[in-house]
Amino acid sequence: MLICVYSMVTGCSAIIAGATSSMADSLSDAIINQSDPETVRQGAPAFLLMMDGFVGNSPKNGSLLQGAAKLYAVYGAVFVDDPVRAKRLTERGFSYGRRALCVEQDSVCDMHEFVYDEFVAALLRLKARDTPALFAYTVSWLAYIRTHSSNWGSVADLPKVEASLNRIQALDENYESAAVHQYLGILNTLRPAALGGAPELGRSHFEQAVEITNGQDLSIKLEYARSYARLVYDRELHDRLLVQVVEANPEVPGFTLFNTLAQTEARSLLDAADDYF
């Protein structure tokens, strides 16, 4: 007992931090491999509270902050129907994401408040070792913007988010590459070409994301259909992608939860296709 009390000052905290980081990874794996989204909807709040506790015990643990940022982002943006709660949860996620990046590189703390040119300059100070923190920061920021889309100030930050995604690719082109390409695909298809969008660039990103995952991540094909095919009124591509989603086996390690959600959404989009096109 005396040894452990003494070690708490020098070593036990590191052991605890390592254990909780491993537990956070296990929780994330359990969630993304769950085939019943309602179980996640009802059970995830307990996981979020646990993450809060882990971070409270190890407030400078970058891995924990990154995990908390991503869990809050996904839960708030995907599973919460109440817009007030969704805003509150994704705001906490973005707070964790900012802290995660700040722990790795204090010169970029609160860089989301920088003007665009200063923001890009701050991104260039980040190194390859900062990639996981930058990814958590960017994903949590995207979720925050999604739930605050009525706030034009938040939406105006999308070019900074795109710059962050491009920086992630530059730092480590293999890090979460499918997700990065998917997000870039969505960002480039928010507007038609006539209004400043880049739909063909977006299509290229979607195609690369599908190739990287061998078509196993059905959420990519869903977004490809919803973001690109609908934007350019390509009914054939739209229906082909969505039928592939509906007919696929959703239970793929690492993709099961979002594949299941994608199939539900794909059926809705197919049912509404005649009204859209």
Domain ranges of the chain: 36-154, 176-277
Task: Output the average pLDDT for the chain.
Answer: 89
How confident is the model at residue 20, as a pLDDT? 57
* 116 pLDDT above the threshold of 90: yes
How confident is the model at residue 14, as a pLDDT? 42
Q: Which band of pLDDT confidence, cut at 50, 70 and 90, is reported for residue 150?
A: confident
In tens, the pLDDT along 241-254 reads 999 999 999 999 98
Q: Residues 216-239: what's their mean pLDDT?
A: 97
- The answer to whether 36-154 and 176-277 have equal CATH topology is yes
Q: DSSP character for 172? A: -
Q: Residues 88-99: what's their mean pLDDT?
A: 97
How confident is the model at residue 33, as a pLDDT? 85
55 contact partners, CB below 8 Å, separation of at least 6: 61, 64, 65, 68, 96
In the block, tokens 């254990």 appear at 19
In tens, the pLDDT along 2-16 reads 334 333 333 334 434
Reply yes or no on domain 176-277 having CATH 1.25.40.920: yes
139 contact partners, CB below 8 Å, separation of at least 6: 69, 70, 73, 97, 179, 183
Q: DSSP character for 216? A: -
Q: What angle do CA 24, 25, 27 make, to 5 degrees?
A: 65
Side chain identity, residue 16: I
Task: Report, at the CATH architecture level, how domain 36-154 is classified.
Answer: Alpha Horseshoe (1.25)
How confident is the model at residue 23, as a pLDDT? 62
> To the nearest whole percent, how much of the chain has pLDDT over 70?
90
* 151 pLDDT above the threshold of 90: no
What's the rounded Cα separation, in Å, for the pair 192 and 239?
20
How confident is the model at residue 21, as a pLDDT? 56
* 29 pLDDT above the threshold of 80: no
Specify the 3-state DSSP secondary structure of 231.
coil
How confident is the model at residue 127, as a pLDDT? 95
> To the nearest whole percent, how much of the chain has pLDDT over 90?
74
260 contact partners, CB below 8 Å, separation of at least 6: 35, 36, 37, 250
- Least confidently predicted of 11-20, 155-164, 213-222, 228-237: 11-20
Q: Which band of pLDDT confidence, cut at 50, 70 and 90, is reported for residue 34?
A: confident
Residue 112 token pair: 């989301």
How confident is the model at residue 8, as a pLDDT? 34
Nearest one of 223, 218, 275, 274 to 244, comparing CA atoms: 218
Q: Residues 96-115: what's their mean pLDDT?
A: 94
In tens, the pLDDT along 193-204 reads 998 899 999 999
Cβ burial, residue 95 (10 Å; 0-12/13-18/19+): middle
Specify the 3-state DSSP secondary structure of 196.
coil
Q: Residues 77-81: what's their mean pLDDT?
A: 91
